[in-house]
Amino acid sequence: MAQTMEAWLVADRDALGEYYGGGFLNSAIPDNTNVEEIDKATLESTLDAATQGTQKGKYRKIQHAADLLARINPRVVRTRAQHCERLFRTLESLI
């Protein structure tokens, strides 16, 4: 299970980079094949490191999360987050 929803955000590095623009440190994002295994503290420090030099400043859940959730590519996230994949498959079967 995902520790926090930020796991799904870091799954799509391209969306993060586009949102934060110049100064975004893509290399700070871990290259885990299953981002839902990353613990909360690591996710927080990862996002801080990756975003601290950007115009938008460090990642803040209240200011940034809703915009980022709208921008991440579900197909990308589903490949790196097994519980996300399961959620989408379940919802698709019910629709």
Q: Do 25 and 49 form a contact (C-beta atoms < 8 A)?
A: yes
Give residue 89's identity as a one-letter amino acid code: R
Does residue 58 or residue 4 have the better pLDDT?
58
Give 44-69 pLDDT, tens digit per residue: 999 999 999 999 999 999 999 999 99
pLDDT, position 3 = 67
* AA letter at 43: L
The three-class DSSP label of residue 18 is helix
Mean pLDDT of 16-44: 93
Backbone angles phi, psi at 47, to 5 degrees: -65, -40
Average pLDDT, the chain: 93
